[in-house]
A and B are shown apart, each in its own frame.
Chain A
Amino acid sequence: MSIEVENLCFAYKAQAEILKNVSFRLAQSSFLSIAGPNGAGKTTLLNLLSGLLKPTAGTIKIDDSMLQSYSIRHLAKKIAVVRQEFVPVFEFSALQVVAMARTPYLGTFAFESKADQQAIADALEMTDTDRFADRPLNHLSGGERQRVFIARALAQQTPILLLDEPTSFLDMKHQVGIYDLLKRMQQEYGKTIVAVTHDINLTIQYADEALLLGTDSDYHIGKTKDVFSQHQIEKIFGVKTFTGKVGQESFFLPLGKFAKSRNGCASEAKQT
């Protein structure tokens, strides 16, 4: 399931364009990571891709058909979205939340079939959420909730998975856990994964392609290692970094003006 974006523009009413002439093409079973400073339009782009927002100009094609040509229900069988986790109003259990993924597949009276039950059970198992399937969502920790929402996206059985900062509330173990899971989804099930993230150092280890959005509606897209270069990251984020290598992958440590080591460096520089 490919995604094709052409000259995509978007502006919230009467504001400056937040996205301008963004174009890219994602083949099936690719893994794209979207990064950029706050306000660069990462979540906006995700909402455009999921059909929630309408572009002011340009087109998005899913599987060679225009995004607008899909009905809401049909689109929900193509694209699943994981947004930043939140606490719902009513005390639905984790199982009930995951079961909601099957909504686009249900008939009028909306009861899950055997196939639906199986999809739900698989998703719970893959995300390791079956242990607390009975517990209400608001009794879970932030990380557990996030995994429940990812389980829901998996149970939706869509070829495309969009995620908005899927690891923002998670500890290190669960961060890699989620990315391992996403990678497995990409490699074993051929899903196309698009993840917005602030954690470049983590995503660089998993994503094949990267989109770096700047605040001046400039952007870079390409292979992860080309896009996430020291030069480009320092330019787009406007921050000095320490850049190192672990095996093949680069990693970036932001350096603030008053960071302790930075002061040390500065004074050493003066002395010599």
Chain B
Amino acid sequence: MEALTPTRLIIRLILCMALLAVVMFVCSLIGTQKISLGSVLDGPGSVPGANTDYDIFVRVRIPRIILAALVGAALAASGVVLQAILRNPLAEPYILGISSGAALGVITCVLTGASITAGVKLGAFGAGASISVFAFLFAMATCWLVWLVGHLAGGSGITSLLLAGVVVNAFFSAVIMLLTSLIDSQQLRTIIFWLMGNIGEKDFSTLLASAIFIVAGIFGLFTICQKLNVLTFGTQEAQSLGVNTRAVTFAAFAMASFITAVAVGLSGLVGFVGLIVPHSVRLVLGPDHRQLLPASAFVGAAFVVICDTIARVIIAPAQFPVGVITAVIGGPVFLLLLARYSKKIGYQR
């Protein structure tokens, strides 16, 4: 294996980007409504009346595919970072309950927020912003809680942390159930679909804001990748190699929670992306985070775009949540990895 140079990294990332572009392009042409690329390229107003193909492509397909890509990138990157910081190859925002923490934040805000925003008259933007803030704070708190419980539960196994995550997850799910039972039945279907991880249509401004947040978060994480490499050897080792472990751990938790919260706000609970994608990428490119993180973001984006396309068309004209697909793939992968890692890992705090 050769050393990683910026040139090599850039070439590989361009390849990943190309892969993502191809996947997005192909998936944008697949759907319940057959559309022809030709009439899309003709643009609006080229045929008498409305160019339906163009409208579907630009107003429905493209936003949805961009949304799926954003969610995938965020969740995969978050998985990479959590695995490094927690030194646990099975860590993942969904499994550790961080996604449900963020979801709880969103629902809490939706339930209480109506009155708050009405009072302060912040309008739609205020409501959106406060939802993001709530989701982020809840995700961050969950991150910290899981880490603390896993730490206190002690032991050197990789399972204590996962157990902590499972318990936190179960607890939050219960609270979410409780809160959703307070919601009137009209909204219920939307909320439940969202909780199952649903990628629907979002307006352009939401998409743009989310894109900025997620790209900024991933870029921020990219700047600490070498430190993450070192941190996988434990805090003592990392400190001896000149890494301020507390600062880096905090920054990583904060940024990973942030992009997870944004992704959850967009699409609810999409599970296992942060597990499947980093592991696949690691198999091909190795564990160096400077490469693993950006590559996983691209591959994660492509993965969720594909999963969402399957969710859109497989029982057409009906659709089901993309979280169902990722869980169906991710569950078995998780079990395989669990069996593999619980046998052989020497583990150091």
Q: Which residues of A does B touch, CB under 8 Å?
A: 47, 50-52, 72-77, 79-81, 83, 86-93, 95-96, 99-101, 103-104, 106, 108-112, 117, 120, 134, 138, 156
Contact A100 B230 (CB under 8 A): yes
Contact B290 A96 (CB under 8 A): no
Residues of A close to B88: CB separation below 8 A: 89
- Residue B280, interface by CB 8 Å: no
Question: Can you list 13 pairs linking A and B with CB atoms under 8 Å apart?
Answer: A72-B243, A76-B242, A90-B282, A92-B288, A93-B1, A96-B229, A103-B242, A104-B241, A109-B6, A111-B4, A111-B9, A111-B290, A112-B5
Q: Nearest chain-B residue to A153 (Cβ)?
A: B240
Rounded to whole angstroms, the CA-CA distance of A108 and B232 in the bound complex is: 19
Contact B290 A73 (CB under 8 A): no
6 interchain residue pairs of minimum CB distance = A76-B242, A104-B242, A110-B226, A87-B346, A90-B287, A73-B242
Q: Nearest chain-A residue to B235 (Cβ)?
A: A52
Contact A111 B241 (CB under 8 A): no
Contact A83 B244 (CB under 8 A): no
Per-position binary interface string of chain B over residues 221-243, scored 1 when its CB falls under 8 Å from any chain A CB and 0 otherwise:
00101110110110011011111
- Residue B171, interface by CB 8 Å: no
Rounded to whole angstroms, the CA-CA distance of A227 and B242 in the bound complex is: 34
Rounded to whole angstroms, the CA-CA distance of A120 and B87 in the bound complex is: 25
Contact A89 B89 (CB under 8 A): yes
**Residue from the list B89, B230, B236, B345 in contact with A103, Cβ < 8 A:** B230
Rounded to whole angstroms, the CA-CA distance of A197 and B337 in the bound complex is: 38
Contact B241 A110 (CB under 8 A): no
Contact A108 B89 (CB under 8 A): no
Q: What's the least CB distance linking B341 to chain A, in Å?
A: 8
Contact A110/B225 with A72-B243, A87-B346, A93-B286 known, Cβ cut-off 8 Å: yes
Q: Which residues of B does A touch, CB under 8 Å?
A: 1, 3-6, 9, 87-89, 223, 225-227, 229-230, 232-233, 236-237, 239-244, 282, 286-288, 290, 344-348
Q: What's the least CB distance linking A70 to chain B, in Å?
A: 10
Contact B348 A86 (CB under 8 A): yes
Interface of B, helix, strand, loop or mixed by DSSP: loop
Rounded to whole angstroms, the CA-CA distance of A88 and B232 in the bound complex is: 7
Rounded to whole angstroms, the CA-CA distance of A271 and B348 in the bound complex is: 55
Q: How many A-B residue pairs have CB under 8 A?
A: 100
Q: What's the least CB distance linking A56 to chain B, in Å?
A: 19
Contact A89/B3 with A77-B242, A103-B227 known, Cβ cut-off 8 Å: no
Given contacts A72-B243, A86-B348, A92-B229, 8 further A-B contacts (CB under 8 A): A72-B239, A72-B242, A72-B244, A76-B240, A83-B237, A93-B1, A96-B287, A111-B290
Rounded to whole angstroms, the CA-CA distance of A76 and B240 in the bound complex is: 6
Q: What's the least CB distance linking B296 to chain A, in Å?
A: 13
Residues of B close to A100: CB separation below 8 A: 226, 229-230, 233, 241
Residues of A close to B230: CB separation below 8 A: 100, 103
Contact B282 A75 (CB under 8 A): no
Contact A103 B241 (CB under 8 A): yes
Q: Nearest chain-B residue to A110 (Cβ)?
A: B226
Contact A95 B232 (CB under 8 A): no
Q: What's the least CB distance linking B159 to chain A, in Å?
A: 14
Rounded to whole angstroms, the CA-CA distance of A95 and B290 in the bound complex is: 15
Contact B240 A108 (CB under 8 A): no
Residues of B close to A87: CB separation below 8 A: 344-346
Q: Nearest chain-A residue to B86 (Cβ)?
A: A89
Residues of A close to B3: CB separation below 8 A: 95, 99, 112, 117, 120
Q: Nearest chain-B residue to A77 (Cβ)?
A: B242
Residues of A close to B6: CB separation below 8 A: 109, 111
**Residue from the list B89, B223, B241, B286 in contact with A76, Cβ < 8 A:** B241
Contact A90 B241 (CB under 8 A): no
Contact A81 B232 (CB under 8 A): no
Q: What's the least CB distance linking A98 to chain B, in Å?
A: 10
Contact A88/B240 with A109-B223, A112-B3, A117-B3 known, Cβ cut-off 8 Å: no
Q: What's the least CB distance linking B284 to chain A, in Å?
A: 12
Rounded to whole angstroms, the CA-CA distance of A86 and B241 in the bound complex is: 16
Q: Nearest chain-A residue to B238 (Cβ)?
A: A103
Q: Nearest chain-B residue to A78 (Cβ)?
A: B242
Rounded to whole angstroms, the CA-CA distance of A77 and B241 in the bound complex is: 8
Residues of A close to B225: CB separation below 8 A: 110
Q: What's the least CB distance linking B130 to chain A, in Å?
A: 33
Q: Nearest chain-A residue to B240 (Cβ)?
A: A81
Contact A80/B240 with A92-B287, A100-B229 known, Cβ cut-off 8 Å: yes
Q: What's the least CB distance linking A112 to chain B, in Å?
A: 6
Q: Nearest chain-A residue to B246 (Cβ)?
A: A72
Residues of A close to B4: CB separation below 8 A: 111
Q: What's the least CB distance linking B70 to chain A, in Å?
A: 24
